[in-house]
Structure 1
Amino acid sequence: MSQSKQQAETAERAVVPKVTPSVEAFLNDPQHVAAVTTIRPDGTLHTAPVRFTWDAEAGLARVMTVSTSRKAKNLLASPDSRVTVCQVHGFTWVTLEGTGRVVTEPARVTEGARRYARRYWSSPPNPAGRVVIEITVDRVLSLNA
């Protein structure tokens, strides 16, 4: 899917969740990491620590990974299944909920890497099989952010 198609999908969404400036700042703090939770084919949950980026305009959270990771395999087995990303720091947290998919399109993987480098001040690893998990966020929960 091209970046223009991605923009068209965003335009077609009924609601792109809005966040407060304090939640936006929290989600973009480079010192924080998060946990992503996906659903295994047997229905059990898989949670892993990740770095991620938040694209408020598109309502997308992006996680760089490889296609052989458990989180990617879970989404490949069940595209558009529910995914959460939860970032916690002390008694402050934000959870992004939505549907996830593994994207292999080079332009979108590059965009994910560009956003990662901007947030974390360094490029993500670039192993063979690198993909980006895009989570189309439809719910944002938070406390003290």
Structure 2
Amino acid sequence: MDQQKTRQAPGLPAGAERLLAGPHTGVLTTLRRDGSAHLAPVRFSWDDEAGLIRVMTTGSRAKIRNIRANPDRPIAICQAVQFRWITFEGLATVSEDPERVAEGVRRYILRYAAPPPNLPGLVVIEIAVHHVMGIL
């Protein structure tokens, strides 16, 4: 029987790699200026070595405005598949740096077997994960 597992990142609880191997989406939670939650479905990749979640999006999205308005507030991303789930929490940065965006695209392709939409203003959200929990 699976039990709830919590540990510090980098590193994943046992069974997490299997859950993250499929082309599933997650729900990214950021905070609006008024403190209310903004939830957005996203595709993402996990970099175990760096302890980073990467999300590809465009710079005009509400999630980008929320991260930039609250750089010292942790955000979270949760992926659920049937009754198994994993949540990553940490501080996020937004980068337009071509090398960092390219790394985000590369990892996106590895996970989803296709590139992200080629939209103008593509940026990468990098979440420096400090907490991982889930039921795997």
2:98 matched residue in structure 1: 106
Counterpart-to-counterpart distance in 1, 2:121 and 2:72: 20
Structure in which a larger fraction of residues adopt strand: 2
1:46 paired residue number: 38
Pick the structure with more helix per residue.
Answer: 1
Aligned to 2:51: 59
Partners of 2:21 and 2:66 lie apart in 1 by: 26
* Offset at residue 21 of structure 1 (A): 4.6
Query: 1:95 maps to which residue?
Result: 87
Alignment length (residue pairs): 129
| Unmatched tracts of structure 1, length 5 or more | 1-14
Q: CA offsets, 1:42-83, max 9 Å, x none?
A: 111100101000001100001100111010111111224211
The percentage of aligned residue pairs carrying the same residue is 47
Higher RCO, 1 vs 2 (CA within 8 Å, ≥6 residues apart): 2
Which structure 2 residue ranges, 5 or more long, are not aligned?
Answer: 1-7
* Alpha carbons 1:63, 1:112 under 8 Å: kept: yes
- What RMSD in Å do the two structures reach over aligned CA positions? 1.2
TM-score, normalising length: structure 2: 0.90
- Within the candidate set 37, 40, 60, 1:68 is matched to 60
Cα distance, 1:20 vs structure 2? 3.4
Q: Read off the aligned partner of 2:32 and give its amino acid letter.
A: R
